[in-house]
Amino acid sequence: MRKKMIEIVDSYKKANKNCLSFRFFDCHKKSEDIFKIIKDGLRQSSMFKEKKLLVLADPLSDTDFKEKFLKETKEFLKSEDIIIFFQEADFNKNNALFNFLKKNVKNQEFNYLTGQKLKIWAAKRFGQARIEPQAFNLLLNYVGSDLWRMSNEIQKLISYKKGEIIKKEDVKLQVRLSIETDIFKTIDAIAQRKKDKALKFLQEHLEKGDSPLYLISMINYQFRNLLSVKDFIEKRKPYNIILKKSGLHPFVVKKSYSLCRQFSLKEIKKIYQNIFKIDFEIKTGKINPEAGLEMLIAEI
């Protein structure tokens, strides 16, 4: 889903070189009247005659925005500018804004791939490259349903083997489940509100050669796992059911289950959304990756 949105933004940037009419809004920030900012922004004419592109993160979760928007839908439908409603957080399918958008604008739903669908998707990403069945299954076990990370890991394996068949040992060496152990140390420091310690762990990763974008993708992946496990816990599901239903590696479930005690569901959702915002700003060139990492820890 994020990849699709970034493709849209990249396409917009190519068509509008000035890119002065692009803005991103996090609808979880209650300190801003996002509806008013958007409405005023759309009314302003651009001196460069370019269409505006506005990205709204989780607008269906903002009751104030939803109520105000539904009162003035005609004005927005008449606009020639582009507004992307990007919803990752859970929401009620009876949501009035959701139903309005579904009926009146172009929409696309992205579901997490699991099982056979995930295998087919991942297999296609290898193209002409060859991978042993055991190695392929291990890769799926390590990465899970994180398609963005899966795509990056596959490209890394292909580049590493340079035409040779990818083996189980290559996956163990290159994909490194062990990095998850280190990332959990960072997340544990975040949970204890020890920002200096979290930054120290991240600096150690950077010194080892791990890229900032990769680290952010891993933190994003782990917080999504925390969100999934915490949701099961809130629904009072027993540990063995979480192991079975989550689709996560047993090691990841164990660590996530332990860390979940230190966060409320609301806190996990807030951090997860902030990761998304920073990840998006990095990929659209608004901030550099290293600054994004520091900002992520500072804003928690």
Domains and CATH numbers, the chain: 2-104 (3.40.50.300), 115-174 (1.10.8.60), 178-298 (1.20.272.10)
Task: Name all contacts of 87-91 with Cβ < 8 Å and 24+ positions apart.
Answer: 87/58, 87/59, 87/60, 87/61, 88/1, 88/57, 88/58, 88/272, 88/273, 88/276, 89/58, 89/60, 89/61, 89/269, 89/273, 91/60, 91/61
Q: What is the pLDDT averaged over residues 152-167?
A: 93
Comparing 21-25, 167-171, 223-227, the range with the smallest average pLDDT is 21-25
Comparing 86-90, 119-123, 273-277, the range with the smallest average pLDDT is 86-90
What pLDDT is stored for residue 19 in this prediction?
Answer: 59
Show the tokens assigned to 233. 């816990």
User: Does position 189 have pLDDT exceeding 60, yes or no?
Assistant: yes
Q: 22 forms bridges with which residues in the sheet? A: 53
Other Cβ atoms less than 10 A from the Cβ of 187: the count is 24
Choose between 126 and 112: higher pLDDT.
126
User: Does position 35 have pLDDT exceeding 70, yes or no?
Assistant: yes
Helix %, strand %, coil % of the chain (to 5): 65, 5, 30
What pLDDT is stored for residue 32 in this prediction?
Answer: 66
Query: Rg for the chain (alpha carbons), in Å?
Result: 21
What pLDDT is stored for residue 123 in this prediction?
Answer: 96
Q: Which residues contact 298 (CB under 8 A, 6 or more apart)?
A: 195
**What does pLDDT average to over the chain?**
84
User: Does position 178 have pLDDT exceeding 70, yes or no?
Assistant: no
What pLDDT is stored for residue 257 in this prediction?
Answer: 92
Q: What is the pLDDT averaged over residues 189-194?
A: 85
Comparing 61-70, 224-233, 241-250, the range with the smallest average pLDDT is 241-250
Show the tokens assigned to 151. 């795509």
Read off the DSSP letter of residue 287. S
Comparing 29-43, 101-115, 269-283, the range with the smallest average pLDDT is 29-43
The C-alpha atoms of residue 177 and residue 194 are separated, in whole angstroms, by: 24
Closest among 88, 153, 145, 89 to 112, alpha carbons compared: 145
The C-alpha atoms of residue 30 and residue 142 are separated, in whole angstroms, by: 37
Q: 46 forms bridges with which residues in the sheet? A: none
Evaluate whether 51 touches 83 at the Cβ level (below 8 Å): no
User: Does position 100 have pLDDT exceeding 60, yes or no?
Assistant: yes
Closest among 56, 228, 66, 81 to 144, alpha carbons compared: 228
Evaluate whether 237 touches 257 at the Cβ level (below 8 Å): no
Strand blocks (E) in 36-189: 53-57, 82-86
Q: Which residue has the tokens 């009926």?
A: 103
What pLDDT is stored for residue 300 in this prediction?
Answer: 76
User: Does position 133 have pLDDT exceeding 90, yes or no?
Assistant: yes
CA-CA distances (angstroms) from residue 268 to 17, 72, 221, 249? 37, 33, 12, 20
SS3 261: helix
Choose between 289 and 148: higher pLDDT.
289
What pLDDT is stored for residue 127 in this prediction?
Answer: 94
Evaluate whether 276 touches 88 at the Cβ level (below 8 Å): yes
**High-pLDDT (> 90) share of the chain, %:** 23
What pLDDT is stored for residue 8 in this prediction?
Answer: 77
User: Does position 166 have pLDDT exceeding 80, yes or no?
Assistant: yes
What pLDDT is stored for residue 241 in this prediction?
Answer: 92
| Position 251 confidence tier, pLDDT thresholds 50, 70, 90 | confident
Q: What is the pLDDT averaged over residues 112-121?
A: 86
Q: What is the pLDDT averaged over residues 13-17?
A: 71
Evaluate whether 22 touches 296 at the Cβ level (below 8 Å): no
User: Does position 170 have pLDDT exceeding 70, yes or no?
Assistant: yes
pTM for this entry? 0.53
What pLDDT is stored for residue 177 in this prediction?
Answer: 55
Question: pLDDT for 204-240, tens place per residue?
Answer: 888 877 778 878 888 888 888 898 899 999 999 999 9
